[in-house]
Chains A and B, each alone.
Chain A
Amino acid sequence: MPLPWIIVFLPWAGAILLALLPRARLAALVNIGISSVSLLLALALPFDDFGPSGWTHLDPLNLPLLLVGAFVGLTTAIYSAATLEAEALDALGQRAYHAAFQGFMGAQALALLADNLGVMWVAIEIATVATVLMVAIHRTPAAIEAAWKFFVLCGVGIALALLGTILLYLAAQPVLGEEGLSWRALLGAAGRMDANLLNLAFVFLLVGYGTKAGLVPLHSWLPDAHAEGPTAISAVLSGLLLNAALHAVLRTKSIIGANPDALPTGPFLMALGLASLLLAALALWRRADARRLFAWSSIEHMGLAAFAFGVGGAATLAGLLHMIGHSLIKSAIFFGIGQAAALKGSQKMRAIGGLAASHPWLGWGLALAIAGIGGLPPFLLFASEFQMVAETIGAHPWAVLPLGLGIVTAAAALIAALQSLCFGAPTPDAGLVPGPAAMVAGIAPLWLHLAVAAWLALAMPGAIATLLRDAAGLIR
C-alpha cells in the first residue's frame, strides 16, 4: 500500500479501535499512540516521491500542510489526554470523542492528499460530520445549537461544493472524458475547457469550500462551533479543518487560473479576504467569551491568507506561511485557553485574568501566543503579514489602507485581550486544579508550538523554504 494511503487509513483503523475501547485513560493513551505513528509516517513523506498513487497524490503544496496536520494532531492528542478529566465525558461520549478525533484526522489527511476532486469532497464531508459530533458532545443546549448551525450551514456549503465539482466535470468531459475529476489532469487540460463553465464551477466551489474555511459572509457557524465541545476540538478545527478547506479553494483556483479566458480568481479571493479581515477586526473587540474571541481571530487570519492568495505573485508564498503559522499558533492558544478555562471554571473573559502572576508558565505562554497571533515578531505570522503588506504595496496600492487598518485594529484588540487575560490582578481559581503531571502535559504542547513557530520564522531550513516556494509555484 502506498505511504499516503497508510496515512489516511491508519487513523481510520484507529478510530474503529477507539470506538470499542471502554476505558477512558487507556483510550487517551492509544489516541496518543496512533497520532505518534501518524506523525512518524508523515515525517517519512518527504522521502517519498512526488506524484500520483491512485486517487491520491503528493506534491509540494500538500506536503507541508500534511506535516503541520500530523504535528498538531499529536500535540492535540497529548493535550486532550491531559485535560480529559476536566471535560467530564460519560463512557459513551468518551468513545465517540476519541473515534471522531481519529476519524477527523484521517479525513483531513485525505482531503489534502486527494488527487480526485470527488474524493476530496467526500473527505471534507467526513471531516465535517466528525467535527459536528465532537462539537455536540457535551449535549448542553448551547452545544446542540452550535452543532446544528454548524451542520446546516456547512451541509449547504458542501452541497454547493458538490455542485461545483459536477460543473467542473461537465467542463472537463469534452476534453478529458472519464479522467475528468483528477486535479493533475484538470490542471493540464484547463486551457482547452469552456471558460464560462469553469467560471460557474468556480463560483460554487468558492462559496462551498469558502463556507468551510470560514470566509465572510459564510462564517457564522465558526464562532459558535469553536465555543463548544472539548477545547482540543477548537484547536484542530482552527488548525486543520480551515486549512483543508482553504487548500481545496486553492486547488480550484489553480485550475481556473490555468485557463486564460476564465475570470480572474484573484479579485474574488481578495474581496472575501478583506471582508473577513475587516469584519473580524471589528468583532474582536468586546467579546465576552475567550474561545469565541479566538474563533473570530481565525476568521481574520483565513481572510488574510485568502487575500494573499488573491494578490498572487510573491504574496502566495506569504499566504502559505500564514496558513502554517496560524495553524501552529492558534492551536497553541486554544491549549492555553482550555487550560485557563479549566482552572477558572469558566471560559468567559472576565473570569480569566492575571494568569502570568498566578500560573507563570501558562500565563506567559499564552501571552506570547496571543502576541504571535496578533502578528508580532518573532513568530511566523509577523513574517507572513510583513511580506503580504509589502507585496500589496507593489501590486494593489489601494488595498494597503483597508489591509493595514484591518491588521492593526485586530492586533490592538488582541493585545487588549492579552492584557486582560494574562496580566492584572489574578482571578480566583474556581475550577478543577489539575495534578502537576496533567498541568505539564497540558502546557508543554503550547510551548512546543511556540518554539516551532519561532524556529520557522527565524531559521527556516533551506529545504522547507524550497518546498514552500515550489508549493507557491503550483498556485496560479
Chain B
Amino acid sequence: MTYGQLPYDIAHMLGGGVLLFSFVLLYQRRITAVINAFAMQGALVAFAAAWQGVTQDAAGLFLTAAIAFGAKAVAIPLVLRAMVRRLDLERGVETALGIGPSMIAGVGLVGLAILVVLPATTGVHALAREDLALSLSVVLLGMLMMITRRNVIGQVIGLMSLENGLLLAAIGAAGMPLVVELSTAALVLVLAIVAAVIALEMRERLQSLDTHALQDHRGEQG
C-alpha cells in the first residue's frame, strides 16, 4: 500500500480529518461548538477504525469502531450538551491563550511530531508511519487544549481528543493484539472522567443555585 492507492488514500484522509478537527477544537469559542467539534472528531476516528478493519481484514476493529462511534460521536456529546443546557453553562470558553498564539503553537507541535516520528520510523510500514505522525500530532494538540482551557469541560474534551489520537495510533499498528480491549479500556477511563466532571458540576450547582456563585468557582475547581 502506498500513495495513489485507494485504501491508503482513504485511511490517510480520515487520519488527516481527525487532525483537522483537533485544530477546529482549538479555536472554538462556545462550549456547545467545542462539543460538536469533538463529536465530529469521534465520528471520524470511528470511520478510520472501520476502514482499517476493511483493509487489514480485522473483524475486531469493527467492534472498536462501533464502540467509538456510539460513545464519542453520540453518547458523550449528548450527555455533555444536556448538562450544559440544564446547568446553564452556555457561554464562551475561557482560554489562557488567544486563538492566534494557540494556532501557531498547534502548527509548531505538528511540525515537532513529524520531525520526531518520521526519522525514527524508517523501518516501519508507510501507512503506520504516517498514522503515527498524525496521531502524535493529535495527542500533542489534545495536551495543548488541556493547557489552554481554564474550565473543566474544555480540559476534559482536550483529554478525550488526546485519547482519539491514541486510538488512531492503535488502529494503524496492523495486527496489534488486544487492540479492542485496549481501546475499550482507554474509553472506560474517558467515561470515568466524564462521570467525574458531571458529578463535579452537579455538586457545584447544588451547593448554590446562584449562577454568579458558580461563575466564581469556575476554573480553579480543576
What is the interface of chain A, defined by CB distance below 8 A to chain B? 116, 118-119, 121-122, 125, 128-129, 132, 139, 144-145, 147-149, 151-152, 155-156, 158-160, 162-163, 165-167, 169-170, 173-174, 177-181, 194, 196-197, 199-200
Contact = CB atoms under 8 A, between A and B. Distances in A.
B163 interface: yes
Contact of B182 (A121, A147, A196): A121
Contact of A166 (B123, B159, B170, B203): B170
12 contacts: A132-B192, A151-B193, A151-B196, A152-B222, A156-B143, A156-B159, A158-B189, A170-B173, A174-B123, A177-B175, A197-B124, A200-B121
Given A122-B181, A159-B162, A163-B136, A200 B117 contact: yes
A21 to B, nearest CB: 23
A159 B159 contact: yes
B177 A178 contact: yes
A196 B159 contact: no
B192 A129 contact: yes
B152 to A, nearest CB: 8
Given A122-B182, A125-B189, A145-B221, 7 more contacts: A118-B182, A151-B196, A156-B143, A167-B169, A178-B175, A194-B121, A196-B120
A155 B189 contact: yes
Contacts of A173: 173-176
Given A170-B173, A196-B120, A197-B123, A155 B193 contact: yes
Given A148-B221, A163-B169, A181-B178, A170 B124 contact: yes
B160 to A, nearest CB: 10
Contact of B178 (A119, A155, A160): A119
Contacts of A145: 221
Given A122-B185, A145-B221, A169 B123 contact: no
A162 B155 contact: no
B200 interface: yes
Nearest to A149: B222
Given A125-B189, A148-B196, A155 B159 contact: yes
B116 interface: yes
Contact of A169 (B165, B173, B185): B173
Contact of A180 (B128, B176, B188, B192): B176
Nearest to B197: A148
Residue of B159, B162, B182 ringed by the most chain A CB atoms within 10 A: B182
B200 A194 contact: no
Interface in B195-212: 196, 200, 203
Contacts of B189: 125, 128-129, 155, 158-159
Residue of A122, A152, A155, A197 ringed by the most chain B CB atoms within 10 A: A155
A393 to B, nearest CB: 36
Contacts of A181: 176-178
Contacts of B143: 156
Interface in B106-155: 116-117, 119-124, 128, 132, 135-136, 139, 143, 146, 152, 155
B127 to A, nearest CB: 12
Given A148-B196, A152-B155, A156-B146, A166 B175 contact: no
A225 to B, nearest CB: 14
Contacts of B67: none
B78 interface: no
B89 to A, nearest CB: 17
B166 interface: yes
A145 B200 CA distance: 10
B66 interface: no
| Pairs of residues from A and B, 6 with the lowest C-beta to C-beta distance, nearest first | A196-B120, A194-B123, A118-B178, A122-B185, A200-B120, A166-B169
A118 B181 contact: yes
Contact of A148 (B119, B181, B222): B222
B24 interface: no
Contact of B124 (A128, A147, A194): A194
B103 interface: no
Contacts of B120: 196-197, 199-200
Contacts of B152: 148
Given A118-B177, A148-B221, A155-B193, A196 B121 contact: yes
Residue of B116, B120, B181, B200 ringed by the most chain A CB atoms within 10 A: B120
A39 B119 CA distance: 49
B87 interface: no
A310 to B, nearest CB: 23
B186 interface: yes
A393 B193 CA distance: 46
A165 B135 CA distance: 14
Given A122-B182, A170-B132, A178-B175, A197 B121 contact: yes
